[in-house]
Structure 1
Amino acid sequence: MRDFQFPGRSPVRATEAVAATSHPLSTLAAIEMLRAGGNAMDAAICAAAVQGVVEPQSTGIGGDCFVLYCPKGQSEVLAFNGSGRAPAGATVDWYLDKGFSELPKQGAHAVTVPGAVDAWSRLLEDHGRKSLAEVLAPAIHYAENGYVVHDRVAFDWAEPETDLSADEYAARIFLPGGQAPKAGDVHRQPELAATLRVIAKQGRAGFYEGTIADDMVRRLNELGGLHSHEDFAATKGDYVAPVSTRYGGYDIHQMPPNNQGLTALLMLNVLSGFKLGGLDPNGAERLHLEIEAGRLAYQDRDRYVGDQDHVPVPVKQLLSGAYADRLRAEIDRERAMTHLPRLELPGSDTVYISIVDRDRNAVSFINSTYYSFGSGVVGPKSGVVLQNRGSSFRLDPKHPNAIAPGKRPMHTIMPGMATKNGRVVMPFGVMGGGYQPFGHVHLLTNMIDFGMDPQQALDAPRVFYNDDTVEAERGIPAEAIEGLRKRGHRIVEPQHPLGGGQAVLIDWEKGTLTGASDPRKDGMALGY
């Protein structure tokens, strides 16, 4: 139990259902959907649509999503890949011939075709109870009538002002009066409201065909993009087999490549050989082991992960016990490794949603446009912010993540799911671009090894190895910082909080749910 004399919050406890998101309006919309007879999938898509309006820097219908789903509490995890693909005309040779040395972070060449709307439509049809029009109604309301800008949203919104001003349509919508809205301001997106109404009426075809698709394709082509109407019309998500490992008696499930989810599983496999539970959870030794395991796992992520429809990825080998033993042997408890290549891991803006309903349908749902306001390209009439996932591609034709026609890029957003003894235990996720595998592992080990409840596990201070430095949040004790320095780590304070997350824990014996939402964001968990 937490010390109530210190700032913080208790986890949310309920019996019927719990929803946890990174925005109060999104969580409320999910709860209202559940109480109106919707299930966890209806509520998750409703929440994601609302966040595409009220957290426009993080997500939207111009982005992608990944979903892990356990119907009625079963341990069989369904996985859906709702990430989009490169245009049919996108080849390494085309970019090299035009003088590109890498894919740009912004602009039309950073845009892959959005997969979210197709995924939402398919998942509602297969697993929901409500119509697309019903789940989009709250988002339409906020886009049309306005919403109050929350504090973390305002904090994130201010940073990309320069990038937004470079696109006249983005500036018109997202820099009213020439500047980013402040916390407490009311913001509206009438163009997006009209677009959502079309999708509500026409379904996925309303987005990928007709006037909305024409608006997006025309703008991308004006900016030099290779996108075509055929690329949009052909968009289709897939059910895929999740990848899994066992840690501390729990089965931990992630999305397979093109997703980076196996990076977290690699970290867990390496850490399983150390007895973390006997260490100080905020001490130098525990944090050092986490950092070193992460450095090894990310090295393999960058070496092997790509779209498995285009390249083979040795998933079975990477997740084997023998391979974990080999990696673990490289770690010195007293000294940071010096032989690994440099890691540069950009952050991103993402929303993660965790929901369990009264039937114990459990959904782990993540949706994103990647960088803040994605590519910075906005449909002039549709108001759609287009993602910049294409910037993750490589221009080395031999690399597994090299750009190719119809190929999906290596993707950072990763939902998580924990199961045990034939039942789902917890949908969970931690946002933050490259940080996400670290975040998943920190959350899980906080709970499994150190006995924290979900809220304590999310509240706990974090570290992240990036660009030859260790970013340590202010909550890391001074003696731990010194212990990391003695081991050879260079410590810096991060410019932004490390990630943000949600989780809902199921106690089958008591018949209860425990929900948590990260204080690094504006969100909350609610239940009834």
Structure 2
Amino acid sequence: MSEFTARRLSATGDEWAVATPHSTASDAAADVLRGGGNAVDAALAAAAMLTVVYPNQCSVGGDLLALVGTADGEVRFVNAAGRAPRAVDAGEIAARYESMPVLGALPVTVPGAVAGWAALADTWGTRPLSAALGPAEAAAHEGVPVAPGLALDLRREEQILARDPGMRGVFFADGDVLAAGRTLRQPALARTLASIAAQGPSALYGGDVGQSLVRLLAEQGSAMTVEDLAEHTVRLSGTHSAVYDGVDHLSSGDNSQGLYFLQGLRALDVVRSVRGTLDPLGRDAGVVASVLAQAAADRDRFCCDPEWGEAAPAEELLSEPYVRRIAERAMAGTPVELLGQRKASGDTVAVVATDRDGTWVSLIQSVFHCFGSGVLDPGTGVVLHNRGASFSLDPASPNRLAGGKRPLHTLMPVLVREGGELVGAHGVMGGRAQPQVHTHLALHLAAGATAERAVSAPRWVLGAMEAGVTEGAGTVKAERDVPTAGVRAIEGGGFDVELIDAHDDGVGHGQLVRRAGGADGPRLVAATDPRADGSAVAG
């Protein structure tokens, strides 16, 4: 029996718990926790391993956002999102394209993941970053079995990957993409991880690794420079929150879409006060869809890099009058215009963990679209993300492309608090639908579902999950096991419904760690989504 058929979808423990979308990464984190490391040390070991075993979804060449909560009640947001090259010519790109390119060098922004790892290790870790990178380096050198989810994405994206020499050199054998179970070896990536372990993040931000990336990008028309990499900074800040049914959900602000998850959740709490416990798979599905669509519309209007001074104030978007209007429009059945939708195929990984000392971590890292920009640097083995595809080329948009600017970001970590005490870490994959997947999890848990049921329950999502997608406006993708009552409620809310297979990763996947009460007192519960290749481990 393979590790993927034998994986543990839920686990309970008294001292620590972790869940990730790949069993090998979960085991790497669990080894750290068993050995006395804390939740941040464990999350970093898992994050590094995921760049090796899930390169379709995350990479050394991607971005990272995280929340870390400590036993004293402090919660901090780690924003490692990268910026567009300083010298980018937005006018020239707008003259050539109707919307921001999705593939190739132009949508590549500064990769922030490695800087995020270093900030986490330096601020909260008990071990050096090099300790987290060791197991990942060994796995990249020795090889790992291709997971079913990676194999599926390799097949789906085969034509795009075949265009890039770096991708062909890593993910193809005998002219075909690697199948599930085949060995994936990444010696160049192993050397890159070893360089970062030895030199720290400077290996990428100005050192040999970064210089190799810049040379490749320059050959393909990017304005990225070594100075762009060297100037990258990580921002540590506070969080925003929303209470739903007495439970406080914390998420990220800045250029992330966490604010719009919280906005929707506050509006749904208004709906709940009128209708009672909400069922997103039954009679309330249409109202929930309307609220989520309105929050998504606000994200597309307002979300941008706040350092450019054009972001809508969080206090206004989360204010009681504002969210009440959203709730009232949803309950009145007022039509909401949706962006188009295309099935997403993997873009993000979430690592959630807690430890015996009361540290909680929700870490999200990503290459944005599946395999990011479709560019892999042969010299470093690094897949480059395409986070810049989220920029707008509309000169009137707050999120318009500009040199040194961070794009609208889909990543959004979540922590949960009850009675002033942290009790949960949530993380999801789902591109622009991440707020929706988080909302499904929150509503199921509030209705009494177990953590395992919350991540495995039938799901639906609406609107565009990827940048640059406009077809199929108004479509909601619903898994075939969404109850008929839920489908009819969504249609009654004015949305078209397209049925997809059950447990399809096109509706995202989630990871949960929660502290739950029981007959013998509170215990830690971890759960992983069956739509991925992960496992939950607790001790």
SS in 2 for 1:331: helix
| 2:8–2:537 CA contact under 8 A, matched in 1 | no
Deviations 1:291-326 (A, max 9, x none): 010111111100101000112322110000110111
- 1:513 matches 2:524: yes
Cα displacement (A) at 1:474: 1.4
Provide closer, same or farther for how the CA distance between residues 367 and 285 of structure 1 changes in structure 2, counting only shifts above 3 A: same
Describe how 1:151-166 pairs up with structure 2 within 5 A. 151-166=148-163
* Alignment correspondent of 2:328: 329
Question: Matched residues in 2 for 1:402 and 1:125: separation?
Answer: 33
* Alignment correspondent of 2:52: 53
- 1:422 matches 2:420: yes
TM-score (normalizing by structure 1): 0.94
SS in 2 for 1:28: helix
| 1:282–1:476 CA contact under 8 A, matched in 2 | no
| 2:115–2:201 CA contact under 8 A, matched in 1 | yes
* Alignment correspondent of 1:309: 307
* Alignment correspondent of 1:504: 513
Amino acid at match of 1:246: V
Cα displacement (A) at 1:52: 0.4
Amino acid at match of 1:64: D
| 1:9–1:455 CA contact under 8 A, matched in 2 | no
Partner residue of 2:235 out of 232, 238, 248? 238
Amino acid at match of 2:214: V
Percent identity between the aligned chains?
A: 35
| 2:9–2:529 CA contact under 8 A, matched in 1 | no
* Alignment correspondent of 2:452: 455
Provide closer, same or farther for how the CA distance between residues 160 and 230 of structure 1 changes in structure 2, counting only shifts above 3 A: same
Amino acid at match of 1:65: L
Question: Matched residues in 1 for 2:137 and 2:281: separation?
Answer: 47
| 2:64–2:116 CA contact under 8 A, matched in 1 | yes
- 1:372 matches 2:381: no
Question: Matched residues in 2 for 1:302 and 1:428: separation?
Answer: 23
Cα displacement (A) at 1:340: 2.9
Amino acid at match of 2:403: P
| 1:282–1:461 CA contact under 8 A, matched in 2 | no
Cα displacement (A) at 1:339: 5.1
Cα displacement (A) at 1:285: 2.1
Cα displacement (A) at 1:454: 1.0
Question: Matched residues in 1 for 2:343 and 2:411: separation?
Answer: 12
| 2:278–2:443 CA contact under 8 A, matched in 1 | no
Partner residue of 2:482 out of 469, 476, 487? 476
Question: Matched residues in 1 for 2:207 and 2:280: separation?
Answer: 54
Provide closer, same or farther for how the CA distance between residues 438 and 155 of structure 1 changes in structure 2, counting only shifts above 3 A: same
* Alignment correspondent of 2:66: 67
Question: Matched residues in 2 for 1:428 and 1:480: separation?
Answer: 24
Question: Matched residues in 1 for 2:339 and 2:40: separation?
Answer: 40
Provide closer, same or farther for how the CA distance between residues 316 and 346 of structure 1 changes in structure 2, counting only shifts above 3 A: farther
* Structure 1 gap ranges (5+): 1-7
Cα displacement (A) at 1:394: 0.6
Provide closer, same or farther for how the CA distance between residues 460 and 520 of structure 1 changes in structure 2, counting only shifts above 3 A: same
Cα displacement (A) at 1:274: 2.0
Question: Matched residues in 2 for 1:116 and 1:281: separation?
Answer: 36
Question: Matched residues in 2 for 1:159 and 1:48: separation?
Answer: 24
Amino acid at match of 1:19: V
* Alignment correspondent of 2:77: 79
Partner residue of 2:130 out of 133, 150, 153? 133
Describe how 1:214-363 pairs up with structure 2 within 5 A. 214-275=211-272, 278=276, 281=279, 283-310=281-308, 311-332=310-331, 335=333, 337-338=334-335, 340=337, 342-344=339-341, 347=344, 348-363=346-361
Question: Matched residues in 2 for 1:301 and 1:494: separation?
Answer: 26
Question: Matched residues in 2 for 1:345 and 1:320: separation?
Answer: 32
Cα displacement (A) at 1:451: 0.6
SS in 2 for 1:272: helix
Question: Matched residues in 1 for 2:80 and 2:114: separation?
Answer: 9
SS in 2 for 1:402: coil
Deviations 1:45-65 (A, max 9, x none): 110110100011000110000
* Alignment correspondent of 1:27: 26
Deviations 1:233-258 (A, max 9, x none): 11111102212122211221111030
Deviations 1:83-105 (A, max 9, x none): 111000124223234x2222110
The number of residue pairs the alignment matches comes to: 516
SS in 2 for 1:328: helix
Q: CA RMSD in A?
A: 1.9
Q: Which piece of structure 1 moves more, 8-17 or 429-438? A: 8-17
Cα displacement (A) at 1:361: 0.7
Cα displacement (A) at 1:487: 4.5
Partner residue of 1:434 out of 420, 432, 435? 432
SS in 2 for 1:492: strand
Amino acid at match of 1:126: T
| 2:32–2:42 CA contact under 8 A, matched in 1 | yes
Cα displacement (A) at 1:10: 6.7
Question: Matched residues in 2 for 1:321 and 1:427: separation?
Answer: 26
SS in 2 for 1:309: helix
* Alignment correspondent of 1:103: 100
Question: Matched residues in 2 for 1:294 and 1:136: separation?
Answer: 38
Provide closer, same or farther for how the CA distance between residues 10 and 404 of structure 1 changes in structure 2, counting only shifts above 3 A: closer
| 2:452–2:528 CA contact under 8 A, matched in 1 | yes
* Structure 2 gap ranges (5+): 1-6, 464-472
Cα displacement (A) at 1:222: 0.2
* Alignment correspondent of 1:168: 165
| 2:354–2:360 CA contact under 8 A, matched in 1 | yes
Describe how 1:146-225 pairs up with structure 2 within 5 A. 146-225=143-222
Amino acid at match of 2:197: A
